[in-house]
Amino acid sequence: MNSRERIIMATILLAISAMTIVDLITDRNEGIAWWHLSVEGSVAIISLVGVFFLMKGTFKLKKTLKHEREVSIKFQEESKLWKEHSIKYLQGLSQSIDNQLGKWLLTKSEKEVAFLLLKGFSLKEIAEIRNTTEKTARAQATSIYSKAELSGRSQLSAFFLEDLLLPDSPR
């Protein structure tokens, strides 16, 4: 239930409670039985309890949303800083990978597929990104593995990433 729906429900429950209280006052003046007044009083109280819980939930939801926005902004800032700090290294790695793909004599299309494979995209996703069929993407991946003399995607990834160890780690 969104915030607007919560406010509408709270307003309806407040209206029910107000009408019930007015009815209670008029019934009391007319000498209506105590059990009837008790039932109507219960309806008014239950409506007010419903308003309380709806409003409590609304405020809790707003507080949680504010916190999540703050966390999201923090992560976005961290991501931006990381990208700014590491861009020269990423560009160097990207260029080194491109050089190696060139040494394997991959075509431009095969290089594109190789980069997408390294990024972790599935063959179906690669086909969608490149506006080809999945069969074409599979054939290009097979050609890449063959030209590089690798058995598959895991070896392709390992070829470029196996030397990436934690800083100051023994090799």
What torsion do the CA atoms of 135, 140, 142, 143 make, to the nearest 10 degrees?
Answer: 140
pLDDT in tens, 64-112: 999 999 999 999 999 999 888 888 877 888 888 999 999 999 999 999 9
pTM for this predicted structure: 0.52
CA angle 48/54/59 to nearest 5° reads: 125
**What pLDDT, in 10s, does the model give residues 105-152?**
999 999 999 999 999 999 999 999 999 999 999 999 999 999 999 999
The pLDDT, as a whole number, for residue 160 is: 85
pLDDT the model gives residue 15: 93
Same domain, 137 and 59: no
Structural domain harbouring 46:
1-86
Based on the fold, state whether residues 113 and 66 are members of the same structural domain: no
Residues 167, 119 within the same domain: yes
Of the two residues 61 and 1, the one the predictor is more confident about is: 61
